[in-house]
Structure 1
């Protein structure tokens, strides 16, 4: 037993080719200590490193990324289901897509400095691989998969809620605020009111500096008007007024 523990400690402290920072530091940072550190080693190993070390392809993080993607989907879906008891399936699907988008995952990975813990080839590192979106989002999902295999669903849930969905409510509110057309469409379809119709009712100014006036109607009723430097901007403003008309501004 002492020999096994010594080997595990040695593995955590060992210098990994292509990595800038160690496993113990990463475990302290995320607040989870692996019973099997080899899972973490694998999760942080990009496929580019095998060309420098000669390891087999299966030793990289691709399989763990596949598993972690599914675990992340489950945990985010669970959280959205619990936190939004009156939302319809279509709305929940859109919220989940926002929460687990590649851009969001890469930003979360950057926040914890994930790239510096990864094993990647020297050529990949020189070309900016430690900050590349695709590499970071895959590695973050691989870490989730590794935590799930090592400790089960509960520690994976803790990790996801601490590092990925910690600001989910704020992100969803900001997304709603900037996309009033989608919010209006979702509401009128969900209540069988028909489709919103946008119509340009006036244009002011010269061609290079036009101002557009738009109104939006649902059924036979005008529910909002908007003004903007482009038709799209004016439509968003009209939809914003319509959202307020239906009492959805903070919904």
Structure 2
């Protein structure tokens, strides 16, 4: 990556790396071989969760643990990070192996989300927690300012789990029914087994997590249709 490209990305991040090699590492997907950004991603994920947890703790002093957990999950989930990465045009900077590059890895949400975490980890490695914290807050500023405890932040899996726990029922069991396709074109069919439901919802999507959420929503809808005596 050229010096001009480095400068462009650093301007968007609001942080200038002393070590361009560290930034290059943060942008190196595992498909390029070793070294790659997986360790930085691991580090950045932990820092991201901590910083967001602290910001929510300070912003919502009356919030319960479950509310804070849902708000944090919404901010650190892959879809949110991929949106941030897209805003930063990280797909233009990622280093990919030939196979990933040909299959469109520069636009894949999971890869983009991992880049954000790796960059956070790299900033921490170079300049410590304070700089990494500033970066996280800068990247999430608008989303943090828009949060409200009244927002429907709970995803379908969390909602289903709380529904069952409140009735002292076993937690749902998500099982892979079928996996179709190869590599980046895979589709997962997941069934959600719930105590008290005669039917077993099955949902299909391009990732296991997405299919699980769809199946959980279907299970919730079925549970809400049951007569009160059957709940």
Of 124, 144, 150 in structure 2, the residue corresponding to residue 148 of structure 1 is 124
What's the TM-score, normalizing by structure 2?
0.63
What is the DSSP-based 3-state SS (H/G/I as helix, E as strand, rest coil) of the residue aligned with 1:119?
coil
Distance in 1 separating the partners of 2:69 and 2:154? 18
Residues 1:31 and 2:22 are matched in the alignment: no
Q: Is the 8 A contact 1:99 1:165 kept in 2?
A: no
Residues 1:170 and 2:146 are matched in the alignment: yes
Larger radius of gyration: 1
What is the DSSP-based 3-state SS (H/G/I as helix, E as strand, rest coil) of the residue aligned with 1:86?
coil
1:102 corresponds in structure 2 to 78
Of 91, 112, 115 in structure 2, the residue corresponding to residue 139 of structure 1 is 115
Distance in 1 separating the partners of 2:24 and 2:153? 39
What's the TM-score, normalizing by structure 1?
0.58
What is the DSSP-based 3-state SS (H/G/I as helix, E as strand, rest coil) of the residue aligned with 2:142?
coil
**For each residue in 1:27-77, what CA deviation from the matched residue of structure 2 results, as whole angstroms up to 9, or x when unmatched?**
122111112222111000111123xxxxxx2x1000000100011011001
Distance in 2 separating the partners of 1:64 and 1:75? 16
Structure 1 regions of 5+ residues with no counterpart?
Answer: 1-10, 14-20, 51-56, 196-230, 236-251
1:46 corresponds in structure 2 to 29
Distance in 2 separating the partners of 1:22 and 1:171? 33
Deviation at 1:158, TM superposition (A): 1.7
Displacement over 2 Å in runs of 4+? 168-179
2:37 corresponds in structure 1 to 61
Distance in 2 separating the partners of 1:135 and 1:128? 10
* Superposition RMSD in Å: 3.1
Distance in 1 separating the partners of 2:81 and 2:93? 16
Q: How does 1:1-251 map to 2 (within 5 A)?
A: 13=3, 22-50=5-33, 57=34, 59-170=35-146, 172=148, 174-176=151-153, 232=221
1:224 corresponds in structure 2 to none
Q: Is the 8 A contact 2:49 2:76 kept in 1?
A: yes
What is the DSSP-based 3-state SS (H/G/I as helix, E as strand, rest coil) of the residue aligned with 1:139?
helix
What is the DSSP-based 3-state SS (H/G/I as helix, E as strand, rest coil) of the residue aligned with 1:167?
helix
Q: Is the 8 A contact 2:9 2:88 kept in 1?
A: no
Figure out how many residues of one structure are paired with residues of the other and give that number: 168
